[in-house]
A and B are shown apart, each in its own frame.
Chain A
Amino acid sequence: MRIITYHLLLFGVFCLYQFLAALVAPPVFDPFFPILLGGLFWGLSHRQMALAVLIWGLVSDTYSFLVPGASVISYALGLFLFLQLKRRLALTVFFPALLSLLVSISICELLRLFLIPVLLELSLPVPGFYFVGRILLGTLAWGFLCWLFCQFSMVRNFFELSSI
């Protein structure tokens, strides 16, 4: 049930994003990656999280990039990094966990929006740092909101951090 709810949440975010994009303009953040990290709070296994990364990375690539792979690869690396940080830092305390989230999002989004497109020989917009930077900042803000939701939501017991 949890895995279905998790994917339904991501699907809802996808529909809401496209709705807002049609209504005004595409919001300036990556909707998926912060929620993919949230798999940890839902108690999903690594295999389930990897499957989620594949599915939603593919959706992101389909709608966002000329060449495939940028989102899938960067989401996978970002998730791997986050799990490593979790293991090393034992993220049961608020600030180390938040810091790990911010570091993972920053590295993942820089890979997705800058490094992998450059490696795939896509032309970057001018000025590149402005376009990449604002999406990065937007995703950090979105990630922070998701994080706060997990921390302070009414269903905190359901989302609470693993004590492993």
Chain B
Amino acid sequence: MVALALVFGGLSGEKRLSFGERLGLKVFGPWSGGASEGGFGLRHLWRKYLWLVGVAEENERLKKEILRLEAELARLEEEELAYQRLAKLLKVSAPFGEQVVVARIIGKPLGSWQAMIVIDKGIKDGVLPEMPVLSAAPKEGGALVGQVVAAEDHYAKVLLLLDPSSAVDVLVQRSRQRGVLRGQGKGVCLLDYVPAEADVRENDRIVTSGFDGLYPKGILVGWVQRIYPGRLKGLFRPIEVRPAVDFESLEEVVVLQKKPPK
């Protein structure tokens, strides 16, 4: 009975998490955060420092001095990159006023095909289920990442655009053609329910329509990558969309608050 209560109890509440999941996030969240922090740190070190050391080794004359300077440079670059990321996130949040929460990713799925992440902000920070999640996209400002599906006091689960359970009402920005963007589980999404005769071209920008009442209108989602010829699905023509967000290198996200925290 206790096991059943842990696995299935408490799902109907505001948090949409079972008692066991709440307990799991409370206990393992900090450890998962620490492990992820270590992973991200090592990745930065590898990209920004070790690579530079490799270059420096080619120049024997300046070996020691360059190494010291490069270590210093790497540290400063790392700080600058962090600053740039945060500045981008602030830019993302600007159109939405102050009702945003910046969160770090602290967990990824354990041997599962579901595209979801765990972030380090929860109900106490004003993050609730069904809130849109954005990230900074290269050259374009903010781009859609997904939505919060469950939240604990200090942690929340976010369903990514790539997940097969995800569906977003979108527009082709140029022709205003409407469709539903669905995840496929891999790096691309499928734009569905677009009539075969619709005016859609490769590299057209896809933005949220706002009609689903979940995502604000006009958030960048991605670009048309491939248009399947003919009517593969009856009246409609499936279209592949390349998301604007690089989900592999995602570290921080912005949660748009629909209502102020209690």
Name A residues whose Cβ lies closer than 8 Å to a Cβ of B.
Answer: 11, 14-32, 54, 58-66, 68-69, 72-73, 113, 122-126, 131-132, 135, 138-139
A21/B186 contact (C-beta < 8 A), A15-B34, A58-B20, A66-B114 known: no
Chain A residue at minimum C-beta to C-beta distance from B29: A62
Question: Are A64 and B110 in contact, CB atoms less than 8 angstroms apart?
Answer: yes
- Cβ contacts under 8 Å, B103 to chain A: none
Of the stretches B35-43, B52-60, B82-90, B211-219, the one at the interface is: B35-43
Q: How close is A96's CB to chain B, nearest CB, in angstroms?
A: 26
Determine which of B109, B149, B185 lies in contact with A125 in the assembled complex, contact meaning CB atoms within 8 Å. B185
Question: Are A123 and B116 in contact, CB atoms less than 8 angstroms apart?
Answer: no
Question: Are A64 and B35 in contact, CB atoms less than 8 angstroms apart?
Answer: no
Query: Given known contacts A66-B159, A124-B185, what 8 new A-B pairs fall within 8 Å (CB)?
Result: A14-B28, A16-B35, A58-B20, A63-B118, A64-B112, A113-B113, A123-B164, A135-B112
Name B residues whose Cβ lies closer than 8 Å to a Cβ of A.
Answer: 3, 6-8, 11, 17-18, 20-21, 23-25, 28, 31-32, 34-40, 42-43, 105-114, 116, 118, 149, 157, 159, 163-165, 183-186, 248
**CA A29 to CA B38, docked complex, whole Å:** 21
- Cβ contacts under 8 Å, B36 to chain A: 18-19, 21-22
- Cβ contacts under 8 Å, B37 to chain A: 22
**CA A82 to CA B163, docked complex, whole Å:** 32
A15/B7 contact (C-beta < 8 A), A22-B38, A63-B108, A64-B110 known: no
**CA A14 to CA B32, docked complex, whole Å:** 8
Question: Are A125 and B248 in contact, CB atoms less than 8 angstroms apart?
Answer: no
**CA A18 to CA B36, docked complex, whole Å:** 6
**CA A93 to CA B9, docked complex, whole Å:** 42
Q: How close is A77's CB to chain B, nearest CB, in angstroms?
A: 14
Question: Are B185 and A19 in contact, CB atoms less than 8 angstroms apart?
Answer: no
Question: Are B18 and A19 in contact, CB atoms less than 8 angstroms apart?
Answer: no
- Cβ contacts under 8 Å, B3 to chain A: 54, 72
- Cross-chain pairs A/B with CB under 8 angstroms, 7 sampled: A17-B110, A20-B39, A26-B109, A123-B164, A125-B183, A126-B186, A135-B111
Question: Are B39 and A62 in contact, CB atoms less than 8 angstroms apart?
Answer: no
**CA A30 to CA B24, docked complex, whole Å:** 17
Determine which of A22, A27, A132, A139 lies in contact with B113 in the assembled complex, contact meaning CB atoms within 8 Å. A132
Determine which of A28, A60, A125 lies in contact with B186 in the assembled complex, contact meaning CB atoms within 8 Å. A125
A60/B11 contact (C-beta < 8 A), A19-B36, A22-B35, A23-B39 known: no
A62/B24 contact (C-beta < 8 A), A31-B110, A69-B7 known: yes
**CA A62 to CA B6, docked complex, whole Å:** 12
- Cβ contacts under 8 Å, B35 to chain A: 14-19, 22
**CA A18 to CA B17, docked complex, whole Å:** 21
**CA A18 to CA B3, docked complex, whole Å:** 26
- Cβ contacts under 8 Å, A27 to chain B: 111
